[in-house]
Amino acid sequence: MSTAKTKKEIAVLVIPTYNEADNIGKMIEYLNTKTFPYIESKKEGLTSDWDMKILVVDANSPDGTGQVVDKLSKKYQNTYLYKETSKDGLGAAYFKGFKYAMDELKADYVFEFDADFQHPPETLPSMLKAMEEGYDYCIGSRKIKGGAEPEGRDFMRMMMTEAGGLLARFILFFPFKHFFDVTDPTTGLKVTRVKGFIDQLDMEFSHLYSKKFGYKVQLLSETLAMGAKFKEVPLKFENRTSGESKFESDTTTEILMSCIKTRWFDPTTQKFLKFGTVGFVGYVVNATTLALFSNLWNIEWLSWLLSTELAIISNFTLNNLWTFKKDAISGISQLISKFVQFNITSAGALAIQIIAGTVGVYFLGAEYRQLLLPFIIVFLVLPYNWTMYNKIIWKKKN
Ligand code: GDD
Ligand code: MN
Protein backbone atom coordinates (compact mmCIF):
# COMPACT_ATOMS: atom_id res chain seq x y z
CA MET A 1 0.00 0.00 0.00
CA SER A 2 1.15 3.47 -0.76
CA THR A 3 2.08 5.55 2.23
CA ALA A 4 1.67 8.83 0.41
CA LYS A 5 -1.51 10.26 1.80
CA THR A 6 -3.70 12.22 -0.54
CA LYS A 7 -4.05 15.81 0.55
CA LYS A 8 -7.24 16.50 2.41
CA GLU A 9 -9.55 19.11 1.00
CA ILE A 10 -10.23 21.82 3.56
CA ALA A 11 -13.75 23.24 3.72
CA VAL A 12 -14.47 26.01 6.19
CA LEU A 13 -18.01 26.79 7.30
CA VAL A 14 -18.02 30.52 7.97
CA ILE A 15 -20.86 31.19 10.41
CA PRO A 16 -21.48 34.84 11.35
CA THR A 17 -23.34 35.32 14.62
CA TYR A 18 -25.02 38.08 16.51
CA ASN A 19 -26.91 37.00 19.63
CA GLU A 20 -27.15 33.34 18.73
CA ALA A 21 -26.25 31.91 22.14
CA ASP A 22 -29.24 29.56 22.03
CA ASN A 23 -28.35 28.25 18.58
CA ILE A 24 -24.60 28.26 18.09
CA GLY A 25 -23.74 25.64 20.72
CA LYS A 26 -26.33 23.24 19.34
CA MET A 27 -25.12 23.93 15.81
CA ILE A 28 -21.46 23.25 16.60
CA GLU A 29 -22.37 20.03 18.41
CA TYR A 30 -24.68 18.93 15.61
CA LEU A 31 -22.11 19.56 12.89
CA ASN A 32 -19.30 17.85 14.78
CA THR A 33 -21.24 14.81 15.95
CA LYS A 34 -23.66 14.22 13.08
CA THR A 35 -22.88 16.07 9.86
CA PHE A 36 -19.08 15.81 9.75
CA PRO A 37 -18.91 12.09 10.65
CA TYR A 38 -21.53 11.49 7.95
CA ILE A 39 -19.36 13.37 5.43
CA GLU A 40 -16.28 11.51 6.63
CA SER A 41 -17.96 8.17 6.00
CA LYS A 42 -18.36 9.29 2.38
CA LYS A 43 -22.10 9.08 2.15
CA GLU A 44 -24.07 10.41 -0.81
CA GLY A 45 -21.36 9.43 -3.25
CA LEU A 46 -18.64 11.64 -1.75
CA THR A 47 -15.13 10.49 -2.67
CA SER A 48 -12.68 13.10 -1.27
CA ASP A 49 -11.26 13.17 2.23
CA TRP A 50 -12.92 16.29 3.55
CA ASP A 51 -11.33 18.22 6.37
CA MET A 52 -14.31 20.15 7.76
CA LYS A 53 -13.75 23.27 9.88
CA ILE A 54 -16.05 25.73 11.58
CA LEU A 55 -15.25 29.43 11.83
CA VAL A 56 -17.71 31.48 13.85
CA VAL A 57 -17.42 35.22 13.26
CA ASP A 58 -19.08 36.80 16.26
CA ALA A 59 -20.06 40.47 16.34
CA ASN A 60 -19.20 40.83 20.03
CA SER A 61 -22.70 39.58 20.90
CA PRO A 62 -23.90 40.81 24.29
CA ASP A 63 -25.72 37.51 24.95
CA GLY A 64 -22.55 35.46 25.41
CA THR A 65 -22.44 33.76 21.98
CA GLY A 66 -18.66 34.27 21.95
CA GLN A 67 -18.16 32.48 25.28
CA VAL A 68 -20.18 29.47 24.07
CA VAL A 69 -18.00 29.21 20.96
CA ASP A 70 -14.81 29.82 22.91
CA LYS A 71 -15.60 26.86 25.16
CA LEU A 72 -16.48 24.56 22.27
CA SER A 73 -13.35 25.55 20.37
CA LYS A 74 -11.39 23.89 23.19
CA LYS A 75 -13.48 20.75 22.89
CA TYR A 76 -13.30 20.59 19.09
CA GLN A 77 -9.96 21.23 17.39
CA ASN A 78 -11.64 22.12 14.10
CA THR A 79 -13.78 24.89 15.62
CA TYR A 80 -12.55 28.47 15.68
CA LEU A 81 -13.83 31.80 16.96
CA TYR A 82 -13.11 35.11 15.25
CA LYS A 83 -14.04 37.95 17.56
CA GLU A 84 -15.21 41.15 15.96
CA THR A 85 -14.97 44.22 18.13
CA SER A 86 -18.36 45.50 16.99
CA LYS A 87 -21.37 44.59 14.87
CA ASP A 88 -20.22 45.68 11.41
CA GLY A 89 -22.85 43.89 9.35
CA LEU A 90 -23.21 40.47 7.75
CA GLY A 91 -21.12 41.29 4.66
CA ALA A 92 -18.27 42.68 6.73
CA ALA A 93 -18.39 39.59 8.96
CA TYR A 94 -18.15 37.29 5.94
CA PHE A 95 -15.20 39.16 4.48
CA LYS A 96 -13.31 38.97 7.77
CA GLY A 97 -14.18 35.27 7.90
CA PHE A 98 -13.06 34.60 4.33
CA LYS A 99 -9.72 36.28 4.95
CA TYR A 100 -9.13 34.30 8.13
CA ALA A 101 -10.25 31.04 6.50
CA MET A 102 -7.79 31.56 3.62
CA ASP A 103 -4.80 32.85 5.57
CA GLU A 104 -5.02 30.95 8.84
CA LEU A 105 -7.09 27.85 8.07
CA LYS A 106 -5.79 27.25 4.52
CA ALA A 107 -9.30 26.81 3.18
CA ASP A 108 -9.83 25.27 -0.26
CA TYR A 109 -13.55 26.01 -0.04
CA VAL A 110 -15.60 28.40 2.07
CA PHE A 111 -19.23 28.09 3.00
CA GLU A 112 -21.66 30.88 3.87
CA PHE A 113 -23.83 29.37 6.56
CA ASP A 114 -26.36 30.59 9.16
CA ALA A 115 -26.18 29.71 12.84
CA ASP A 116 -29.93 29.42 13.42
CA PHE A 117 -30.70 26.05 11.75
CA GLN A 118 -32.57 27.78 8.92
CA HIS A 119 -29.95 26.22 6.63
CA PRO A 120 -30.29 22.48 7.26
CA PRO A 121 -26.83 20.92 7.75
CA GLU A 122 -28.18 17.99 5.70
CA THR A 123 -27.67 20.16 2.60
CA LEU A 124 -23.90 20.27 3.05
CA PRO A 125 -22.96 16.85 1.56
CA SER A 126 -24.67 17.62 -1.76
CA MET A 127 -22.78 20.91 -1.92
CA LEU A 128 -19.45 19.22 -1.29
CA LYS A 129 -20.40 16.71 -3.97
CA ALA A 130 -20.82 19.59 -6.42
CA MET A 131 -17.27 20.76 -5.59
CA GLU A 132 -15.97 17.24 -6.20
CA GLU A 133 -17.72 17.31 -9.57
CA GLY A 134 -15.67 20.38 -10.48
CA TYR A 135 -18.13 23.18 -9.83
CA ASP A 136 -16.68 26.39 -8.37
CA TYR A 137 -19.78 27.78 -6.78
CA CYS A 138 -22.76 25.94 -5.34
CA ILE A 139 -25.85 27.73 -4.15
CA GLY A 140 -28.75 26.53 -2.03
CA SER A 141 -31.96 27.53 -3.78
CA ARG A 142 -35.44 27.67 -2.28
CA LYS A 143 -36.88 27.94 -5.76
CA ILE A 144 -35.95 24.68 -7.43
CA LYS A 145 -37.57 21.27 -7.04
CA GLY A 146 -36.97 19.99 -3.54
CA GLY A 147 -36.33 23.49 -2.15
CA ALA A 148 -38.84 25.37 -0.02
CA GLU A 149 -39.69 28.44 2.03
CA PRO A 150 -40.50 27.87 5.70
CA GLU A 151 -43.97 26.57 6.37
CA GLY A 152 -46.67 28.84 7.68
CA ARG A 153 -45.52 31.99 5.90
CA ASP A 154 -48.42 34.25 5.10
CA PHE A 155 -49.40 35.03 1.54
CA MET A 156 -48.15 38.63 1.56
CA ARG A 157 -44.73 37.64 2.82
CA MET A 158 -44.54 34.92 0.15
CA MET A 159 -45.47 37.38 -2.60
CA MET A 160 -42.86 39.86 -1.36
CA THR A 161 -40.12 37.20 -1.45
CA GLU A 162 -41.28 36.04 -4.87
CA ALA A 163 -41.42 39.55 -6.37
CA GLY A 164 -38.22 40.60 -4.62
CA GLY A 165 -36.32 37.61 -5.96
CA LEU A 166 -37.54 38.22 -9.48
CA LEU A 167 -36.71 41.93 -9.29
CA ALA A 168 -33.22 41.17 -7.99
CA ARG A 169 -32.66 38.69 -10.83
CA PHE A 170 -33.89 41.25 -13.33
CA ILE A 171 -31.73 44.10 -12.05
CA LEU A 172 -28.64 41.96 -11.67
CA PHE A 173 -28.71 39.89 -14.84
CA PHE A 174 -31.39 40.69 -17.42
CA PRO A 175 -31.28 39.78 -20.34
CA PHE A 176 -28.28 37.52 -19.97
CA LYS A 177 -28.17 33.85 -19.13
CA HIS A 178 -27.93 34.17 -15.36
CA PHE A 179 -31.30 35.89 -15.34
CA PHE A 180 -32.73 32.51 -16.26
CA ASP A 181 -30.51 30.12 -14.37
CA VAL A 182 -30.01 31.87 -11.00
CA THR A 183 -33.33 31.09 -9.32
CA ASP A 184 -32.63 32.40 -5.81
CA PRO A 185 -30.38 35.49 -5.92
CA THR A 186 -30.72 36.41 -2.23
CA THR A 187 -30.09 32.99 -0.76
CA GLY A 188 -27.65 32.87 2.13
CA LEU A 189 -26.33 29.35 1.67
CA LYS A 190 -23.33 29.00 -0.61
CA VAL A 191 -19.99 27.32 -1.06
CA THR A 192 -17.22 28.83 -3.18
CA ARG A 193 -13.88 27.51 -4.40
CA VAL A 194 -11.07 29.62 -2.95
CA LYS A 195 -8.56 29.18 -5.76
CA GLY A 196 -9.48 31.46 -8.63
CA PHE A 197 -12.50 32.96 -6.91
CA ILE A 198 -12.41 33.91 -3.22
CA ASP A 199 -8.66 34.57 -3.53
CA GLN A 200 -9.33 36.91 -6.48
CA LEU A 201 -11.82 39.07 -4.60
CA ASP A 202 -11.07 42.61 -3.54
CA MET A 203 -11.01 42.06 0.22
CA GLU A 204 -11.24 45.74 1.16
CA PHE A 205 -14.58 46.52 2.77
CA SER A 206 -14.65 49.76 0.82
CA HIS A 207 -15.34 47.71 -2.30
CA LEU A 208 -18.66 46.48 -0.87
CA TYR A 209 -21.75 48.48 -1.80
CA SER A 210 -23.29 47.16 1.40
CA LYS A 211 -21.57 45.77 4.45
CA LYS A 212 -24.88 44.32 5.62
CA PHE A 213 -27.20 41.82 3.92
CA GLY A 214 -26.78 43.50 0.52
CA TYR A 215 -23.19 42.22 0.14
CA LYS A 216 -24.70 38.94 -1.01
CA VAL A 217 -26.00 40.04 -4.39
CA GLN A 218 -22.75 41.83 -5.20
CA LEU A 219 -20.72 38.77 -4.31
CA LEU A 220 -23.05 36.59 -6.40
CA SER A 221 -22.68 38.82 -9.43
CA GLU A 222 -18.91 39.18 -9.11
CA THR A 223 -18.32 35.47 -8.60
CA LEU A 224 -20.40 34.62 -11.65
CA ALA A 225 -18.61 37.33 -13.65
CA MET A 226 -15.33 35.63 -12.82
CA GLY A 227 -16.70 32.69 -14.78
CA ALA A 228 -17.50 30.39 -11.87
CA LYS A 229 -19.07 27.12 -12.92
CA PHE A 230 -22.09 27.08 -10.70
CA LYS A 231 -24.80 24.71 -9.60
CA GLU A 232 -27.93 25.07 -7.52
CA VAL A 233 -28.99 22.48 -4.98
CA PRO A 234 -32.40 22.46 -3.27
CA LEU A 235 -32.56 24.37 0.02
CA LYS A 236 -35.38 23.61 2.44
CA PHE A 237 -35.28 26.88 4.33
CA GLU A 238 -36.52 26.16 7.85
CA ASN A 239 -38.19 28.36 10.42
CA ARG A 240 -36.00 29.88 13.08
CA THR A 241 -36.33 27.81 16.25
CA SER A 242 -34.92 30.33 18.71
CA GLY A 243 -33.39 33.79 18.80
CA GLU A 244 -34.39 36.67 16.53
CA SER A 245 -33.82 37.51 12.89
CA LYS A 246 -31.38 40.37 12.25
CA PHE A 247 -33.34 41.40 9.20
CA GLU A 248 -34.28 45.04 9.79
CA SER A 249 -36.99 47.18 8.29
CA ASP A 250 -34.54 48.83 5.90
CA THR A 251 -32.84 45.59 4.87
CA THR A 252 -35.01 45.12 1.76
CA THR A 253 -34.16 48.61 0.48
CA GLU A 254 -30.52 48.05 1.30
CA ILE A 255 -30.44 44.81 -0.77
CA LEU A 256 -32.27 46.56 -3.62
CA MET A 257 -29.75 49.42 -3.61
CA SER A 258 -26.94 46.91 -3.64
CA CYS A 259 -28.51 45.20 -6.69
CA ILE A 260 -28.74 48.52 -8.54
CA LYS A 261 -25.17 49.56 -7.71
CA THR A 262 -23.85 46.10 -8.58
CA ARG A 263 -25.45 46.26 -12.01
CA TRP A 264 -24.63 49.91 -12.68
CA PHE A 265 -20.93 49.62 -11.87
CA ASP A 266 -20.59 46.22 -13.49
CA PRO A 267 -17.86 46.46 -16.17
CA THR A 268 -20.19 45.06 -18.84
CA THR A 269 -22.86 47.66 -18.04
CA GLN A 270 -20.30 50.45 -18.16
CA LYS A 271 -19.10 49.11 -21.49
CA PHE A 272 -22.65 48.94 -22.80
CA LEU A 273 -23.35 52.54 -21.77
CA LYS A 274 -20.22 53.70 -23.56
CA PHE A 275 -21.18 51.63 -26.61
CA GLY A 276 -24.58 53.34 -26.60
CA THR A 277 -23.04 56.80 -26.28
CA VAL A 278 -20.60 56.13 -29.11
CA GLY A 279 -23.48 54.90 -31.25
CA PHE A 280 -25.37 58.10 -30.59
CA VAL A 281 -22.33 60.24 -31.45
CA GLY A 282 -22.08 58.22 -34.66
CA TYR A 283 -25.64 59.12 -35.49
CA VAL A 284 -24.94 62.83 -34.90
CA VAL A 285 -21.83 62.68 -37.10
CA ASN A 286 -23.86 60.94 -39.79
CA ALA A 287 -26.69 63.49 -39.68
CA THR A 288 -24.59 66.66 -39.53
CA THR A 289 -22.13 65.68 -42.23
CA LEU A 290 -25.01 64.53 -44.44
CA ALA A 291 -26.51 68.00 -44.18
CA LEU A 292 -23.13 69.62 -44.76
CA PHE A 293 -22.24 67.60 -47.88
CA SER A 294 -25.72 68.05 -49.32
CA ASN A 295 -25.13 71.78 -49.16
CA LEU A 296 -21.73 71.48 -50.77
CA TRP A 297 -22.69 69.43 -53.83
CA ASN A 298 -25.64 67.83 -55.53
CA ILE A 299 -24.47 64.26 -55.71
CA GLU A 300 -26.92 62.51 -53.39
CA TRP A 301 -25.23 59.08 -53.22
CA LEU A 302 -21.84 60.62 -52.49
CA SER A 303 -23.21 62.61 -49.54
CA TRP A 304 -24.73 59.45 -48.08
CA LEU A 305 -21.61 57.40 -48.68
CA LEU A 306 -19.21 59.89 -47.12
CA SER A 307 -21.37 60.77 -44.12
CA THR A 308 -22.01 57.09 -43.38
CA GLU A 309 -18.31 56.31 -43.64
CA LEU A 310 -17.48 59.19 -41.32
CA ALA A 311 -19.95 57.77 -38.78
CA ILE A 312 -18.27 54.38 -39.13
CA ILE A 313 -14.85 55.96 -38.57
CA SER A 314 -16.16 57.80 -35.52
CA ASN A 315 -17.67 54.61 -34.09
CA PHE A 316 -14.54 52.59 -34.71
CA THR A 317 -12.20 55.19 -33.22
CA LEU A 318 -14.26 56.04 -30.12
CA ASN A 319 -15.06 52.42 -29.33
CA ASN A 320 -11.41 51.53 -29.66
CA LEU A 321 -10.18 54.38 -27.47
CA TRP A 322 -12.98 54.29 -24.92
CA THR A 323 -15.54 51.44 -24.87
CA PHE A 324 -13.10 48.64 -25.54
CA LYS A 325 -10.03 50.38 -24.16
CA LYS A 326 -8.96 47.25 -22.29
CA ASP A 327 -8.89 45.23 -25.50
CA ALA A 328 -7.86 48.11 -27.73
CA ILE A 329 -6.50 47.38 -31.18
CA SER A 330 -3.05 48.84 -31.85
CA GLY A 331 -0.38 48.66 -34.52
CA ILE A 332 -0.97 49.89 -38.02
CA SER A 333 -1.58 46.51 -39.71
CA GLN A 334 -3.99 45.35 -36.97
CA LEU A 335 -5.82 48.65 -37.15
CA ILE A 336 -6.23 48.40 -40.90
CA SER A 337 -7.45 44.81 -40.94
CA LYS A 338 -9.82 45.38 -38.01
CA PHE A 339 -11.13 48.55 -39.64
CA VAL A 340 -11.93 46.57 -42.77
CA GLN A 341 -13.73 43.99 -40.61
CA PHE A 342 -15.58 46.80 -38.87
CA ASN A 343 -16.81 48.13 -42.21
CA ILE A 344 -18.07 44.67 -43.12
CA THR A 345 -19.98 44.27 -39.84
CA SER A 346 -21.36 47.79 -40.27
CA ALA A 347 -22.56 46.83 -43.74
CA GLY A 348 -24.21 43.85 -42.05
CA ALA A 349 -26.04 46.18 -39.69
CA LEU A 350 -27.18 48.26 -42.64
CA ALA A 351 -28.42 45.14 -44.41
CA ILE A 352 -30.39 44.06 -41.32
CA GLN A 353 -32.00 47.48 -41.15
CA ILE A 354 -32.92 47.53 -44.82
CA ILE A 355 -34.34 44.00 -44.83
CA ALA A 356 -36.23 44.29 -41.52
CA GLY A 357 -37.57 47.71 -42.53
CA THR A 358 -38.78 46.53 -45.93
CA VAL A 359 -40.31 43.34 -44.57
CA GLY A 360 -41.89 45.21 -41.65
CA VAL A 361 -43.50 47.85 -43.84
CA TYR A 362 -44.70 45.11 -46.21
CA PHE A 363 -46.58 43.35 -43.40
CA LEU A 364 -47.61 46.26 -41.19
CA GLY A 365 -48.13 49.02 -43.72
CA ALA A 366 -46.30 52.26 -44.43
CA GLU A 367 -47.94 54.09 -41.52
CA TYR A 368 -45.74 52.03 -39.17
CA ARG A 369 -42.49 53.00 -40.87
CA GLN A 370 -41.29 55.56 -38.32
CA LEU A 371 -42.33 53.41 -35.38
CA LEU A 372 -40.53 50.44 -36.86
CA LEU A 373 -37.15 52.16 -37.01
CA PRO A 374 -36.47 52.46 -33.24
CA PHE A 375 -37.67 48.88 -32.76
CA ILE A 376 -35.32 47.60 -35.42
CA ILE A 377 -32.45 49.56 -33.89
CA VAL A 378 -33.08 48.42 -30.31
CA PHE A 379 -33.98 44.78 -30.93
CA LEU A 380 -31.87 43.94 -33.98
CA VAL A 381 -29.11 46.43 -34.77
CA LEU A 382 -27.92 47.06 -31.19
CA PRO A 383 -27.71 43.37 -30.21
CA TYR A 384 -26.06 42.60 -33.55
CA ASN A 385 -23.42 45.31 -33.17
CA TRP A 386 -22.83 44.51 -29.50
CA THR A 387 -22.27 40.85 -30.34
CA MET A 388 -20.02 41.56 -33.32
CA TYR A 389 -17.89 44.07 -31.38
CA ASN A 390 -17.46 41.77 -28.40
CA LYS A 391 -17.03 38.48 -30.21
CA ILE A 392 -15.14 39.57 -33.31
CA ILE A 393 -13.75 43.08 -33.48
CA TRP A 394 -12.64 43.53 -29.85
CA LYS A 395 -12.51 39.86 -28.94
CA LYS A 396 -10.86 39.38 -25.52
CA LYS A 397 -7.20 38.59 -25.85
CA ASN A 398 -6.65 36.02 -23.09
N1 GDD B 1 -21.25 38.72 12.78
C2 GDD B 1 -22.46 39.11 12.38
N3 GDD B 1 -22.70 40.44 12.15
N4 GDD B 1 -23.44 38.18 12.16
C5 GDD B 1 -24.64 38.59 11.75
C6 GDD B 1 -24.95 39.95 11.50
C7 GDD B 1 -23.90 40.91 11.74
O8 GDD B 1 -24.07 42.12 11.57
N9 GDD B 1 -26.23 40.02 11.08
C10 GDD B 1 -26.70 38.76 11.05
N11 GDD B 1 -25.77 37.89 11.47
C12 GDD B 1 -25.88 36.41 11.54
C13 GDD B 1 -27.01 35.86 12.34
O14 GDD B 1 -26.69 35.73 13.70
C15 GDD B 1 -27.29 34.53 11.66
O16 GDD B 1 -26.42 33.52 12.10
C17 GDD B 1 -26.97 34.81 10.19
O18 GDD B 1 -26.10 35.95 10.21
C19 GDD B 1 -28.23 35.12 9.38
O20 GDD B 1 -28.96 36.16 9.99
P21 GDD B 1 -30.53 36.09 10.20
O22 GDD B 1 -30.94 37.26 10.98
O23 GDD B 1 -30.92 34.74 10.71
O24 GDD B 1 -31.01 36.27 8.70
P25 GDD B 1 -32.39 35.86 8.06
O26 GDD B 1 -32.76 34.47 8.49
O27 GDD B 1 -33.37 36.91 8.26
O28 GDD B 1 -31.96 35.83 6.53
C29 GDD B 1 -31.49 34.64 5.94
O30 GDD B 1 -32.19 34.45 4.73
C31 GDD B 1 -31.99 35.44 3.76
C32 GDD B 1 -32.80 35.11 2.53
O33 GDD B 1 -34.12 35.28 2.75
C34 GDD B 1 -30.00 34.73 5.67
O35 GDD B 1 -29.53 33.49 5.20
C36 GDD B 1 -29.69 35.77 4.62
O37 GDD B 1 -28.30 35.68 4.31
C38 GDD B 1 -30.54 35.53 3.40
O39 GDD B 1 -30.35 36.58 2.48
MN1 MN C 1 -32.07 33.26 9.98
CB 17 near ligand 1, within 6 Å: yes
Average pLDDT value for residue range 50-65 = 98
Nearest-CA residue for ligand 1 atom 36 is 188
Mean pLDDT of the chain: 95
Q: What is the pTM of this model?
A: 0.90
Q: What pLDDT was estimated at residue 325?
A: 95
- How far, in Å, from the CA of 139 to the mean position of ligand 2? 16
pLDDT in the model for residue 3: 46
Distance 85 CA to ligand 1 centre (A): 18
* Closest C-alpha to ligand 1, atom 35: 188
**pLDDT higher than 70, residue 351:** yes
- The architecture CATH gives domain 9-265: Alpha-Beta Complex (3.90)
Average pLDDT rounded to a whole number, residues 154-183: 91
* Most ligand 1 atoms within 8 A of CB, residue of 65, 99, 114 to mutate: 114
**Domain segments of the chain as ranges:** 9-265, 268-393
Which of 90, 142, 153 has most ligand 1 atoms within 8 Å of CB, for mutation?
A: 90
Report whether pLDDT(24) > 90. yes
- State if residue 14 touches ligand 1 by the CB under 6 angstroms criterion: no
For the cut 60, the answer to whether the pLDDT of residue 46 exceeds it is: yes
Residue 227 clears pLDDT 70, i.e. is over it: yes
- How far apart are the CA of 264 and the centre of ligand 1, in A? 26
Ligand of minimum distance to the alpha carbon of 113:
1
Confidence label for 2 from pLDDT (cuts 50, 70 and 90): very low
Give the mean model confidence (pLDDT) for residues 106-117: 98
Determine what percent of the chain is predicted with pLDDT higher than 90: 90
Residue 151: the pLDDT is 83
Q: Is 116 in the pocket of ligand 1 (CB under 6 A)?
A: yes
Greater confidence (110 vs 398) lies with 110
Mean pLDDT within 358-380? 93
Predicted local confidence at residue 6, as pLDDT? 65
HEC letters along the chain: CCCCCCCCEEEEEEEEECCCHHHHHHHHHHHHHHHHHHHHCCCCCCCCCEEEEEEEEECCCCCCHHHHHHHHHHHCCCEEEEECCCCCCHHHHHHHHHHHHHHCCCCCEEEECCCCCCCCHHHHHHHHHHHHCCCCEEEEECCCCCCECCCCCCHHHHHHHHHHHHHHHHHHHCCCHHHHHCCCCCCCCEEEECCCCHHHCCCCHHHCCCCCCCHHHHHHHHHHHCCCCEEEEECECCCCCCCCCCCCCCHHHHHHHHHHHHHHCCHHHHHHHHHHHHHHHHHHHHHHHHHHHHHHCCCHHHHHHHHHHHHHHHHHHHHHHHHCHHHCCCCHHHHHHHHHHHHHHHHHHHHHHHHHHHHHHHHHCHHHHHHHHHHHHHHHHHHHHHHHHHHHHCCCCC
Q: Is pLDDT of 30 > 90? A: yes
**Mean per-residue pLDDT for 351-377?**
93
Q: What is the pLDDT of residue 153?
A: 80
Is the model's pLDDT at 398 over the cut of 70? no
